[in-house]
Chain A
Amino acid sequence: MTRIGPRLAVLGVTAAALLFPLVNQNDADIDSAANALAFAALALGLNIVVGFAGLLDLGYAAFFAIGAYAYGVASSWQLQPDWSSLWEPFQWLDLVTRFHTASGDVVHFQVSFWLMLPVAAAIAAFFGVLFGAPTLRLKGDYLAIVTLGFGEIVPIVARNIPAVTNGAMGLNGVAAPRLFGFDFGVDATPYFYVGVALVALLIVISQRLKDSRIGRAWMAIREDEVAAMAMGVDRVRYKLLAFAIGAAFAGATGTFYVAKLQTATPEMFMFPVSVMILVMVVFGGIGSVWGVVIGALLLQILQSWFLEDLSQWLHALGRMVGVAWLQQVELASSIELIFGLILVMMMLYRRQGLIPAARRTLALSLDEQTVQPARAQSGLIATTLANAGAARHGLDISDLTVRFGGLVALQSVELSVPAQSVVAVIGPNGSGKSTLFNAITGLVPTDRGTIRFAGEELGRLPPHRVLERGIARTFQNLRLFPNLTVLENVMIGMHARLATGPVGAVLRLPATRSEEAAARERALQILSFFGNRLLPRAEHPAASLSYANRRRTEIARALAAQPQLLMLDEPTAGMNPAETLELADQIAGLNRLGLTILLIEHKLDVVAMLADKVVVLDHGEKIAEGTPAAVRRDEEVIRAYLGRSAVFA
């Protein structure tokens, strides 16, 4: 894999950006370019929310407004409270000055632009959290509406409190930034360079977050929220984090934009602006860092340069051929029509955008596809899983009752899974097996009873906490993250075992790098547990796998969480007899390594081969328990379950 190409491209883009004002000395063009950079920064921020975490935000411009007004108010004459000695410390810090007027001394705010960039980001992030906390548990489309409402409220409030914002007239006389005594003034070039630096910084932050534990957690939530929770991702926390970081980008950009324009009016932040940023993200490629930057720049350049020129050409054409209509066309005013067309066309024909976020993967060679399935060497498996340690604790469930409205899904179930044993749960469809799994892993609330693991009650823990305690599971209907690679799926399983936070991910300190490298290495080792079935496909999207390989990937993902108790919901469903036997053998191997296993399985030969103990559920009640052989002979089991089946005939 060569790394030279992308680096050269980045170098080329940087050089072009730095040289642009020297080559093109037209101040209006540089000004347009600086504005375009502001929108590229906004697109990067919205991309974190919409692209990475999958939360559609239709009021994103509200955070832009908050950042803009934060700097605008802190560096203009808008607020002039009477002077008192309380302000003196701020005067020493050079944040305010004392200003003499005829009616007494007043305070003049003059907070530095460079200080306000991070401060405005923090203020916007604060509002992001404040506003996100109650709303982020809503379904996607509801969240979009709530954000739209919030996006409407902020500019209306700005218009309605003229004492702070000067209302619809707009803030006046916002101070230009100064750097080492150089005043930026109204010349566009210094702003352009600040814009380049801002966008470059945000690109680096976006890329690093994306390729980290944080980015994987976001994408897991985007792909399948339930599976993400079950694999240890604290959904509320990571959604809030996405909202806060997205808002912070907008806050800093708001400060930059207002410093450049030296005014702020409520109209700059209304719904059309939120939609425009969304169009840029959709156009460039949802979730693609370079895509959204290029999308934003292209659309801004189209708007400010190209449409003007094109209109002129059309007018000339109209004069030539004598068509009055052509002579009056103003394409610049139809930019929103173009936005609308872009949204519709992209959604219908190219949802991944101009520059898709997902990498293309090479197809396997014929040799790789037709190669004999090989088992991994057991020594390798042992070293991979050894760090999990042998299970010391069993699972004890007593009197577990779960109701869905009037339906009793589980009725006073007693179940104990001794450490390092294999327990199989069987029963007809609808007997409550999957509900049992969901109750243990915190996905459905319990009505009564206790679930104890390692001496701790699990009943009230959210799914990610259950996983942290050492219980990992697979799902009956396969809940992989379909657009992420096999390797990424497995690495999300490690989420709870890794420590990298957002700051670490952005700074990429040696500790973070080595953790990431080790995680990758271990993920590959876990994949090697299934021999050469998954390893050659590690970089393929999970959706492209065969059914059996998807089941294996889910097991690998659960193993990555280093569980003591592994819960498998119909692991061999849809596998042919040979594959079933292979997997049963591998499950037995995991058990020999010290893992406790709780298994739902319909194939009774698999159950007989693996289980130390079988528990039979029917209509939510446990009707039998014992060794596989004893359960086979149980009269009630035969009547309730096996009697209706030909399996044991």
Chain B
Amino acid sequence: MSDYGVLLQQVVNGLSLGAMYALLALGFTLVYGILELINFAHFNVFMVSSFVGMWALQLLGISGQSHVLTGMALAGALLFAFAATMLAGGVLGVAIERLSLRPLRGVPGTAAMITTIGVSYILFNIILLTVGAGSENYPNPLPVVRWQFGEVTIELKTLLIWAVATALMLALNLFVNRSRLGKAMRATAQDAEAARMMGVDVDRVVVTAFFLGSALAGAAALIFGLYYNYTSFIIGYTAGLRAFTAAVLGGIGSIPGAMVGGVLIGLIETLGGQLIAVRWTDVIIFSILILVLVFVPTGLFGRAVPTKS
């Protein structure tokens, strides 16, 4: 395989990872856009959801990678798994908002952010204590089908990831731009106080943002399991930080920004690992995080951050 072919293959891999990061980044951006809150609990909503996805597939009698389904059975199994995982993620996100963050709404400073760190720790340790520290073999009903395009291999699961991510992001865009509640979300993101006075139920908007963001994290979690064939209690931290970097790179608060940022981080991860060294990947990604925040805090697509004075 030529160097060029290797790089092209890494672009394909990067796009798959990027699709997952984009879905996860949307959760950060939706919540930040409305509450100006960096939600560290999101890391482990993702992680817990990946276990829910695993249990959902196991419920269908699928275990490991050898139990392959085809046709309608495959479509039904995937539909069920995505629905269960996204619902679980969404409900978990809403529960976190109601129980731990709503009482702190309006408290100045970093109290809410510190709380999300605490919630993240709690989720992390609940899984660690109940499931254990080992990594779990992820059930995967997808048949291994590969297509060869010149030097590049594209797998069925790659196509599935791209399709699911694209569909979900299109649906989110439709919701935010066309629906009544979506309009209320955009208004609240601009100015919560004004939106409230115009009759927007801000609590409902916040719950919606948490539900949608966490449901998308659920989809990302299932994608993670199907892509890597494993899950573990530790997956939330690394994936979460990378997705957060994606949201910042795209411009935190911006929905298209999160999507583009996610894809870019996916590409940076695979190409950086290929061209430099995998052990430096995190240093590259965190350096991007710091440099973007320091020099272009609005990111690629971000609106100017309103200064509160």
Interface residues in chain A, defined as those with a beta carbon under 8 Å from any beta carbon in chain B: 54, 56, 58, 134-135, 138-142, 144-146, 148-150, 152-153, 156-157, 159-160, 226, 271, 275, 278, 282, 333-334, 336-337, 339-344, 347-348, 351, 443
Contacts and interface: CB of A to CB of B under 8 A. Distances in A.
A483 to B, nearest CB: 11
B249 to A, nearest CB: 12
Contact of B125 (A156, A336, A342): A336
Nearest to A272: B121
Given A334-B129, A336-B125, A341-B122, A348 B305 contact: no
Given A138-B293, A336-B124, A145 B248 contact: yes
Nearest to B100: A344
Interface stretch (B2-10, B51-59, B75-83, B107-115): B107-115
B115 A347 contact: yes
B113 A340 contact: no
B290 A150 contact: yes
Contacts of B114: 56, 278, 282, 343, 347
Interface string B167-179: 0000000000000
Given A58-B117, A337-B126, 15 more contacts: A56-B110, A139-B305, A140-B109, A148-B241, A156-B280, A271-B237, A278-B117, A334-B125, A334-B129, A336-B121, A342-B118, A344-B118, A347-B112, A347-B118, A443-B309
B125 A337 contact: yes
Contact of A343 (B121, B287, B290, B309): B121
A556 B139 CA distance: 70
B1 to A, nearest CB: 27
A340 B120 contact: yes
A340 B121 contact: yes
Nearest to B294: A134
A343 B122 CA distance: 10
A449 B121 CA distance: 55
A101 B118 CA distance: 53
The 4 closest A-B pairs by CB, nearest first: A343-B118, A340-B121, A337-B125, A340-B122
B241 A152 contact: yes
Of A271, A333, A347, most B-chain CB atoms within 10 Å: A347
Of B124, B241, B286, most A-chain CB atoms within 10 Å: B286
Interface residues of B, number: 42
Contacts of B115: 343-344, 347-348
B253 to A, nearest CB: 12
Given A56-B113, A138-B294, A160-B279, A337 B286 contact: no
19 contacts: A54-B109, A135-B290, A141-B36, A141-B113, A144-B113, A145-B289, A145-B293, A146-B289, A146-B290, A149-B286, A150-B290, A152-B282, A156-B286, A275-B121, A278-B114, A336-B125, A337-B129, A348-B103, A348-B115
A347 B111 contact: yes
A344 B248 CA distance: 25
Contacts of A148: 241
A337 B129 CA distance: 9
Contacts of A282: 114
A157 B283 contact: yes
Interface of B: 36-38, 100, 103-104, 107, 109-115, 117-122, 124-126, 128-129, 237, 241, 244, 248, 279-280, 282-283, 286-287, 289-290, 293-294, 297, 305, 309
Contact of B121 (A135, A145, A152, A337): A337
A54 B111 CA distance: 11
Contacts of B297: 138, 142
B11 to A, nearest CB: 25
A134 B280 CA distance: 23
Contact of A344 (B113, B122, B282, B293): B122
Nearest to A330: B129
Nearest to A143: B293
Of A148, A159, A282, most B-chain CB atoms within 10 Å: A148
Nearest to B304: A405
Contacts of A443: 309
A315 to B, nearest CB: 16
Contacts of A146: 289-290, 293-294
Given A134-B294, A339-B121, A144 B283 contact: no
B123 to A, nearest CB: 8
Of B237, B305, B309, most A-chain CB atoms within 10 Å: B309
Nearest to A160: B279
A141 B103 contact: no
Nearest to A271: B237
Contacts of A337: 121-122, 125-126, 129
Contacts of B121: 275, 336-337, 339-340, 343
Contact of A226 (B117, B126, B128, B309): B309
B119 A344 contact: yes
Nearest to B277: A160
A384 to B, nearest CB: 32
A340 B119 contact: yes
A160 B282 CA distance: 11
B110 A160 contact: no
Contacts of A226: 309
Contacts of B119: 340, 344
A156 B284 CA distance: 11
B94 to A, nearest CB: 17
A348 B118 CA distance: 11
Contacts of B294: 134-135, 138, 146
